[in-house]
Chain A
Amino acid sequence: MSSEANGGGAAGGAGRRQTYSKDYWDIVLGELSKRRSVRLATVLLVLLYAVAIYAPFLANDLPLRFVGTDYSEYRGAHRLVTVAAGDLVRKAEQGEAGFDEWEAREEERGAQLEDSAKEHWLESRAGAPTSFEAWLQLDRGSLDIRLETMQRQLAPEHHALLDTARDAADAVVDAAVAGDAERVATAGQRLTDAAGEVKGTLRAAKYGEEPEDGRTVALQPFESWPVLGTLTWGDVYFMVLWALVILLPVWNRVWNGLVLGGDRPRIRKARRPKVALLVVLPAIAALAWLAVAGDDQAKLETTSLKEALTEGKAEAVEVVFPPIVFGMAEQNQSETFRPPTWSDGAGIDDEGYYLEGARSQRVDEATGVAQSATPVRVRYGEPERNDTGRHLLGTDSLGRDLMARAVWGARISLAVGLISTVLLVFIGTVVGALAGYFGGWVDIVISRIIEVFQCFPVFFLILIVVAFRGPSILNIMVAIGIFRWTGVARLVRAEFIRLRSQDFVVASQALGMTSVRTIFRHVLPNAMGPVLVAATFAVASGILTESALSFLGFGVQLPVPSWGSLLVESRNPEYWWIQVFPGLLVFVTVILYNLVGEGVRDALDPRLKEA
């Protein structure tokens, strides 16, 4: 923005300022960057979205990096090696007939199900194997995960034994697919033997015990990046995109200055490639991630690594936890409804009683009933029991850390605001453009419809749709989209009426361009200003609406909470932190969006600037 202007001056040479005409976006961006409040709000919003997007790295019960041994994970895999091998052998022996029978049984089971159970079944069917070989590969895969899990904690001399098992498993699959019963039998025997030997000789020695030769082995430390393993391709897309957005000031300056030489017209032409880069680069990263990590992260999670470390079932050589050591859904029954640990009255003694307040009493004064308490369980890597930073925002009814949930909840809240806005802007723009461009009876009908919508208490209508169609994130976004478009439609309609008789539109029509082309290529780009303003306010309003719906009990019901649904955890005034902090986050986000919106409006509409 400002760098573009400087670059333009430099390119003109000393003392000879090159004159250039500013186009619409030059002016708007220039005006916007002049406003301190807009700049500040934009930076804060970018950071807020960064928190939402990078939530897995910020609040997680999984470590970012772990070097050490995990006895419980190894044991889980070791215990099931023979089971997995047995399953594979049995299926191979059944042959094609076994697969057909299994499929028929599944269909029969599905036919008996109804409603939500049926939906769930259909979902799982989508990923179910469709051929005999795929059916076998399923078990082959599950055996492989177990062997892989064992191998990374075993010294190299034991790897040969695991390879034997793998080879045998491959042979079983090959023979079964070929339909050779004899080979299946011999290969099956080999696999059963190999699995038995793995099970018999590769038992993990407990921590502190010497391994017995031929019976137990000592575990070797392995290196892993547990959080990375949980990322989906969608996560990766947005993480890369946001890294590019955050670094935009840097690479934009380099691109403009070094590559384009500060040449104004070239910089203007480079806008489109820059936007393309923002779209394409994350997409490439996401596809690469999909190829490397696969679609679903098949994991054999027995207990969480943090739990295993706490109980001494895993040992860390080196471990790096995220800044917030609590998972989004990690419960702690010994710490329910704990106030923010920096506040007065949050202190807890060894037995689990609070140091002061109503919950410090061992015997209820009124009833004389003994009050029970559980000593606080501090898991591995967590701050100490009464550490100020342990639960900065307190905990909820299940002892889940509110801060971790708020960080993850930002994902839902911010997404609902954005997506519903995209929807309502799209509907409003199309409808408004039609009414304004064509006029006549189209305009009359659409204006009437807009009038009808305006007489509704819109929030109420959204509430009705969500209440009657069932609370889901999709219903909320769609309801906001289809009932809040009228504002944008009116703006676009007014702009189109203003523009449609102007020379450039008439010229476009005279040249014989289609209406669609005229509308979208010529009129619309000139009418987008007011829409941009309305959209900014609409995001704020979408976030508000979602939180209000959640507050009334019609919110999203997902493992990942939204800010609004955090707030309904408890209405008890004793647990004030549950009502204060999630609402505060909504408040701050709305403030930021309104600041940006007002800035954009002032920048686009110089008439209002004076006011």
Chain B
Amino acid sequence: MLQYILRRILWMVPTMFGITVLLMLVISSAPGDPAAIATAGSLETQAEAGADTASTYEKFRERFHLDEPFHVRYGLWVSDVVTLDFGPEFFRPNTQVSTELWRRLKVTVPLSLIATLLSYLIALPLGILSAVKRGTFIDKLITLGLFLLYSLPTFWAGLMLMLAFGASGLDWFPVIGLHDKDASTFDTWTYVWDTVWHGVLPVATMTYGGVAYLSRQMRVGMLETIKQDYIRTARAKGLDRRTIIFKHAVRNSLIPVITVFATILPILIGGSVLVETIFNVPGMGLYAFEGLVSRDYNIVMATVTISSFMTLLGFLLSDILYAVVDPRIAYE
């Protein structure tokens, strides 16, 4: 098992290599000169002051290695990243991307985890209920509801939640940011309460997709399990329904649902761009979006690399979980 995990971790190296090379290729192929864009504002003011504009431009190119050929630039980037240094931001040269990223991750990761946990907590009972009551009105209602949720565009769901529950509608929840303006003056409990209150709508937006997906998986898995011989055996020997469902059916159909965990994580992190932009939550998604808008290569490289890495970890984790949940699965 340990050997398997080690080998999987080693396999992550070439995959990460592929991801980062592809990423940098995409970014470098973009038309336009980032140095020119980045220094344009300061160049004008300096030109007015009579300073040497060409050297500012050159310095910028040199500092961010923009004048190097692709492989050199990539090499420099990797050698920095190995020490978890993603370089400074383009427009705030005194801010390190890794510092800022760490700050942002502390927002995004808890939100994603809560959303994932909530998805499971809501989805599993729904899926089980739907499978047990198969063919009844309840099943049809749940299936229809989940189908609608599944087709709902994330950003639109966020907007509609804002309209319905924000100041323009019922005015139940705040819709911008994660804290009130004067949150720093609150005592601990008020602060926590304030954060929870702000987090309701973003988390709801991040959760519903997972609920729809997981419930459907759970229902299919349950129906598949119920058909198995051992369920028939359990029924034949006269066990009561409750025991059959919870002890025999649910446990065995949980396996595929747990492994789905890994595929939900990247969706959540990718989707966090939309959700965090809508609700103005200062997490990694919003950071990536800001990096894109300002064409800051360092921010974009850092955020995508981190989220890909987390996805890879998620895959690994789900495979390990697979073995833990199902003893029949043994990795040599």
Contact = CB atoms under 8 A, between A and B. Distances in A.
A455 B153 contact: no
A594 B147 CA distance: 9
A457 B30 contact: no
Contacts of A584: 156
A573 B19 contact: no
Contacts of B160: 579-580, 583
Q: Which 4 A-B pairs have the closest CB atoms?
A: A457-B270, A573-B168, A583-B156, A468-B30
Nearest to B301: A464
A544 B153 contact: yes
B95 interface: no
B167 A573 contact: yes
Given A455-B315, A574-B168, A583-B153, A465 B270 contact: no
Interface stretch (A1-9, A200-208, A234-242, A444-452): A444-452
**Of A461, A468, A583, which is in contact with the most chain B CB atoms at under 10 Å from its CB?**
A468
A407 interface: no
Given A457-B311, A576-B168, A594-B151, 11 more contacts: A452-B19, A456-B304, A460-B288, A468-B27, A468-B29, A468-B30, A547-B153, A552-B155, A573-B166, A583-B153, A586-B153
12 contacts: A457-B270, A457-B307, A463-B292, A468-B30, A551-B274, A553-B293, A573-B167, A579-B163, A583-B155, A584-B156, A591-B151, A611-B219
Nearest to A589: B151
A470 interface: yes
Nearest to B274: A548
Interface in B1-56: 14-15, 18-19, 22-23, 26-27, 29-31
Interface of A: 448-449, 451-452, 455-461, 463-465, 467-470, 540, 544, 547-548, 551-553, 567, 573-574, 576, 579-580, 583-584, 586-587, 590-591, 594-595, 608, 610-611
Contact of A455 (B159, B273, B308): B308
Nearest to B307: A457
B150 interface: yes
B124 interface: no
Contacts of B274: 548, 551-552
Contact of A464 (B26, B152, B266): B26
Contacts of A553: 293
Contact of A459 (B29, B223, B270, B312): B270
A546 to B, nearest CB: 11
A547 B220 CA distance: 31
Contact of B18 (A449, A574, A591): A449
Given A460-B307, A579-B159, A469 B30 contact: yes
A587 B151 contact: yes
**Of A452, A457, A540, A610, which is in contact with the most chain B CB atoms at under 10 Å from its CB?**
A457
B162 A469 contact: no
A544 B157 CA distance: 12
Nearest to A593: B151
B44 to A, nearest CB: 19
A448 B14 contact: yes
Contact of A468 (B19, B26, B155, B168): B26
Nearest to A451: B15
**Of B27, B292, B312, which is in contact with the most chain A CB atoms at under 10 Å from its CB?**
B292
A595 B144 CA distance: 11
Contacts of A586: 153, 156
A590 B18 CA distance: 33
Contacts of B155: 547-548, 551-552, 583
A470 B167 CA distance: 35
B289 interface: yes
A583 B156 CA distance: 6
Contacts of A590: 151-153
Contacts of B292: 463-464, 467-468
Contacts of A460: 270, 273, 288, 304, 307
A148 B304 CA distance: 61
Contacts of B304: 456-457, 460-461, 464
A587 B153 CA distance: 6
B295 A468 contact: yes
Contacts of B277: 552
Interface string B153-190: 11110011011001111000000000000000000000
B114 to A, nearest CB: 19
B203 interface: no
A470 B271 CA distance: 21
Interface in B110-166: 147-148, 150-156, 159-160, 162-163, 166
A547 B23 CA distance: 23
Contact of A452 (B22, B152, B307): B22
Contacts of B315: 455
B249 interface: no
Interface in B290-318: 292-293, 295, 300, 304, 307-308, 311-312, 315
B101 interface: no
Contacts of A544: 153
A463 B273 contact: yes
B80 interface: no
Contacts of B29: 468-469
